[in-house]
Amino acid sequence: MDTRNPQVLLAKAARHDVWNPEEDDTLVCLDVQQETHDVRTFTFASPDGKRFAFKAGQYFLFDLEHNGEPESRCYSISSSPHRTNAFSVTVKRVPGGKISNWLHDTLVPGASVKANGPLGHFVRSEASKPKLLLLSGGSGITPVMSILRELADSCAPADVVFLHAARTPLDLIFRDELACIARRLKGLRLHFLPETVAGEPSWSGLTGRISADYFRLAVPDIADRTVMCCGPAPFMAAARGIAAELGVPAAHYLEESFDAAVIDEPEIPAIQEAAAKVFQVTFSKQARSIEVTGDQSVLSCAKKASVRIPSSCANGVCGTCKSKLTSGTVDMNHNGGIRQREIDAGFFLPCCSKPLSDLVIER
């Protein structure tokens, strides 16, 4: 029996257990779908036929290998959690991007990858206002698309405004599917906002960037909605400021981003620095040593010293910075980005770990 055959995998998933990240780490690619000229959707299943239980808005951390070097990347789930036999992630090719380009050029149906998940807290809570404003810029559409697909699959009453911004009409990911959902999901108002009409001069809708004036017209009741936003950092910064200006309480504004972490911990005053214990942290593969106080995270100091450690969330959720600790101890307060068996094997997350002794890290 061909265990990589999509029909076999889906049939197995109908009768097997739920994927458990403490036990499972292998996925098989079922399908690759071209969405736009530089965006593809990759669909994965468990080789053991296990089902997936995740919340719309969560993501998987993929552990990949590129040119013999381990690489980790976070990709949000774009499929509906009601469809449990498999899940999809949607990835934009990035100029110079090692992993996004590798996925586009190399990953084909039948290939296996390692992953950990589902992870993340960019999900609707019971305390959220029932009226939603879903904002997406570019490939940031993936987690909010999962939320919208969940609503469409549930056939539940909805009051949703969905705005998708992109550079041009040709860059509007899921454009046709969104239009189809808008025709059948009562209570959904759909807005496309390309910045220019390049490539489609016949575009008849609005163009430009989000602004307070735009939202006053498009979403006059924005202050009564839970706003969920994902996109490039400048897009989210603009959305955050506009939402606050228009009266959206901070508790009802959520955002998700996997931009490379930029960590700016406050400088420790000289008098406090003198009192804090200083530890030597050595990165064995890079032949570098830095000083880290017991009040600082290992990753923040490594970044400031230009020590190379991949990172994304910087708060112990994604696991991108996972490293092997060959000697020493740390105080680690993670948020689900590392498994207990990995901790038992000597791994830790530098982003949420403070040294308790001198450290040697295998990086």
Closest listed residue to residue 239, CA positions, set 261, 204, 263, 214: 214
Q: How far apart are CA 206 and CA 175, in angstroms?
A: 15
**Which DSSP category does 14 fall into?**
T
We find that the CATH architecture of domain 129-254 is: 3-Layer(aba) Sandwich (3.40)
pLDDT, average across residues 66-70: 76
The token duo for 132 is: 């939603």
Tell me which of 3.40.47.10, 2.40.10.120, 1.20.1740.10, 2.40.30.10 is the CATH number of domain 15-117.
Answer: 2.40.30.10
Task: Report domain 276-359's class.
Answer: alpha beta
What's residue 151's pLDDT? 94
Give Cβ neighbours of residue 344 (< 8 Å, ≥ 6 apart).
none
Interhelix angle 175-184/141-154, nearest 10 degrees: 30
Q: Where are the beta strands (DSSP E) in the chain?
A: 26-36, 39-45, 59-66, 69-76, 87-92, 112-119, 131-137, 159-166, 188-194, 226-230, 253-256, 278-283, 288-293, 323-327, 330-332, 347-348, 353-355, 359-361
Residues 340-357: b if buried by 16+ CB within 10 A, e if exposed:
eebeeeebbbbbbbbbee
pLDDT digits (tens, 9 = 90+) for 338-351: 888 889 999 999 99
pLDDT digits (tens, 9 = 90+) for 135-177: 999 999 999 999 999 999 998 888 999 999 999 999 999 999 9
pLDDT digits (tens, 9 = 90+) for 271-312: 444 446 899 999 999 999 999 999 899 998 998 888 888 777
Banded pLDDT at 241 (limits 50, 70, 90)? very high
Banded pLDDT at 84 (limits 50, 70, 90)? very high
pLDDT digits (tens, 9 = 90+) for 102-119: 999 999 999 999 998 898
Write down the mean pLDDT value for the chain: 87
Boundaries of every domain in the chain:
15-117, 129-254, 276-359
What's residue 271's pLDDT? 40
